[in-house]
Amino acid sequence: MSRNVSMLSGRKGLRDNLFERVVEAGAESADAHRALAQEFLVGEAVTLGAASFYDLLSGPNAGKKALVCNGSACLCAGTQPRVAEALGRAFKPEDVGVITCLGRCHENAAFHIAGRNFSGRDVDNLAAILATPEVPRRDTYAVAAHGTPAVLTAAFPGVAAYYEPLREILQRPPEAALDEVTRARLRGRGGAGFPTGAKWAAAKAAPGARKYIVCNGDEGDPGAYIDRYLLEQQPHRVLFGMLVAGWVVGASEGVVYIRAEYPEAVEATRAAVREAEAAGAAGARVFGTDFSFTFKVIAGAGAYICGEETALIASIEGRRPEVSARPPYPTTQGLYGQPTVVNNVETFAHVHQILIAGGEAFARIGTPQSTGAKLVCLNGVFNRPGLYEVPMGTPLTTVIDTLGGGFRVPVKALHIGGPLGGLVPKSMFGSLTIDFESFREAGFLLGHGSILGIPESFPMIQYLEHLMEFCAAESCGKCFPCRLGSTRGQEMLAAAAHGRAKLNRELLNDLLDTMALTSLCAHGSGVPLPIQNALKHFEGELREYFE
């Protein structure tokens, strides 16, 4: 059934995108969905079912005039009760909802009004914001490189200068660019760390009438704002990488899918596409060659699971964004059933440096297994919160003390890599380096690169309840271990946190093991990791909550 919908949606493809039409129809009008289904030759259950999935289209947070961020960083900062109180005075209670996460983790107190995000001291200027909510108010945070020349954090040289190397790249065979990316040993920066060159080569070799490049800008890990920085302030670095990927695999269309929670990123990326087209670097016959590549920027509608590549593809096609079993992999059967490369924002952003300096030069940065530089972002518990570019292999303590300036308040753990990442106790800060292997060998996960400090004053049981609640709320619901396991886990942890019942250690371990081993994707299989980390490293604090 899903394959049929994919093919039918593909008849109009990205030009008249079904997902965008579903968002336009919303979740309330049966007539609108009836007409849409007839136009695309699909069932009404397909379009209405898709619309009903997204937080911003259906459910308790749809249609709200104001939304309070309930992400992990804002939760730990303790700023949100005051934000909710201020918004409660300005709006009716039924007009205020919650949203996860706005990527304002460096200063917290985050909220959303009329298509704009706000944070920090903005809550003290609510009257002025309500008077002109459409006026963007850009936040500021530290941005710097350490231990390596700035690349992703360097000043942008201008559109013409930045795209000039593309002229030469298009004069060489596509294999030349692929060889450099392969020599660089660039691994995906979304968390999985899969070799980028191998992914591109698989899509290049796959037979298909059309091929696609998809930039996954929906990786909305609470506590992370790396994608937001790149898409808002360095979007051309992302577009350049997609253009090269298209040249390598033989694709002529690309999608930049950006989470709806980042409206400023959507605007900045669309503006960058127009600039690239005006410079002749995108669109028909790029720089006068036979290579054409068009971009489609799509704004999501509120679904964390769209950070998973098969759910992301389903979303673009207008289906419910549920995870698909693999194989087949997107490189052979992806968007509209065609070979598709899906990489995250930071992965594409590295391609320009690789092709300018050479793959071997990139590979000399970092470690033999984790090459190049990595962006990390620090939340508001640090003295200098912000976004930093560091070579892979940089000691975690360097990031904490030299870049972050230490902590504003005592911290007992760092949650690194989002809700599916590792929960690192203070006693192990000195034993880790910023690379995939160091974290994996220690029983953690580097993930996307967000670094969120958990204050000593914040109860660990409350944080674990928050993680499982997030997993339950954001599950696509397709597989039982994730859908049911996360709900049961949230109930167990909530009962313990609020004194209603003690935890049974054997039962909790069985539940976590089942989720980790049998969930369909990394959402259900990943959330148990930080909880298991906490059970191991914070046994003393958590002992009172167990039978």
Task: Please report, for the chain, the start and end positions of each structural domain, with discontinuous segments joined by +.
Answer: 2-51, 66-140, 155-358, 373-455, 460-545
Dihedral of the alpha carbons of 229, 235, 238, 239, in degrees to the nearest 10: 170
What pLDDT does residue 98 have?
Answer: 96
pTM of the predicted model as reported, rounded to 2 decimal places: 0.95
| DSSP type of residue 12 | T
DSSP symbols for 468-509: HHHHHHH--S-SHHHHHHHHHHHHHHHHHHTTS--B-HHHHH
Q: What pLDDT digit, counting tens, does each position of 224-250 carry?
A: 999 999 999 999 999 999 999 999 999
Q: Which CATH architecture has domain 460-545?
A: Up-down Bundle (1.20)
Residues in a beta bridge with 256 = 215, 297
Q: What pLDDT digit, counting tens, does each position of 75-93 carry?
A: 999 999 999 999 999 999 9
Q: What pLDDT digit, counting tens, does each position of 468-480 carry?
A: 999 999 999 999 9
Nearest to 337 by CA among 354, 352, 364, 316: 316
At the top level of CATH, which class does the domain 373-455 belong to?
alpha beta
Is the fold of 373-455 the same as that of 460-545?
no
Q: How far apart are the first and last CA of the chain?
A: 47
H helix and E strand count, the chain: 25, 14
Nearest to 244 by CA among 310, 361, 313, 163: 163
Q: Is 297 helix (H, G, I), strand (E, B) or coil?
A: strand
Banded model confidence at residue 422, pLDDT cuts 50, 70, 90? very high
Give the E-state strand segments of 96-147 in sequence order. 96-99, 111-113, 116-118, 142-145
Banded model confidence at residue 219, pLDDT cuts 50, 70, 90? confident
The fold of the 155-358 domain, in CATH, is Rossmann fold (3.40.50)
Position 47 pLDDT exceeds 90: yes
* Across 12-24, average pLDDT: 94
Q: How many residues are present in the chain?
A: 547
Banded model confidence at residue 356, pLDDT cuts 50, 70, 90? very high
Nearest to 282 by CA among 267, 301, 269: 269
Q: What pLDDT digit, counting tens, does each position of 462-514 carry?
A: 999 999 999 999 999 999 999 999 999 999 999 999 999 999 999 999 999 99
